[in-house]
Amino acid sequence: DSGVTQTPKHLITATGQRVTLRCSPRSGDLSVYWYQQSLDQGLQFLIQYYNGEERAKGNILERFSAQQFPDLHSELNLSSLELGDSALYFCASSSPQGGGSTDTQYFGPGTRLTVL
């Protein structure tokens, strides 16, 4: 158990809909990262938050947005869903790391999103 929790575990929805995925980082971790894993694209970094502020952005679509709340939990919002958005969505957290390098990330169990 990594200490990172994600809800829900599974989500089935229809095209055009909007969903919210939730992540609680490990106790004390300030950074939260979101990844998308699909069969054809592999594991893609979406976005990082650090202590409530957006820190880095990867291959995140404009239809997707995220935020990190004062209690450090994070939510990933996916809207106008398309069939191709079906994937595993992982959240990871890490402790603050000096020097600009990225320390170990601890991954949650993921949310499996199926868009029908």
Partner 1 sequence: SQQGEEDPQALSIQEGENATMNCSYKTSINNLQWYRQNSGRGLVHLILIRSNEREKHSGRLRVTLDTSKKSSSLLITASRAADTASYFCATDPIQGAQKLVFGQGTRLTINP
Interaction site with partner 1 (CB under 8 A): 2, 4, 33, 35, 42-45, 48, 56-58, 88, 90, 92, 99-110, 112
Residue 74 CB neighbour total at 10 angstroms: 25
In the complex, the smallest distance separating the C-beta of residue 99 from partner 1, rounded to whole angstroms, is: 8
CB closer to partner 1 out of 80 and 97 = 97
| DSSP code, position 69 | -
CB closer to partner 1 out of 6 and 78 = 6
C-beta separation of 9 from 97 below 8 A? no
CB closer to partner 1 out of 16 and 84 = 84
Handedness of CA 49, 7, 60, 80 (dihedral sign): negative
- Residue listed under structure tokens 């809207």: 79
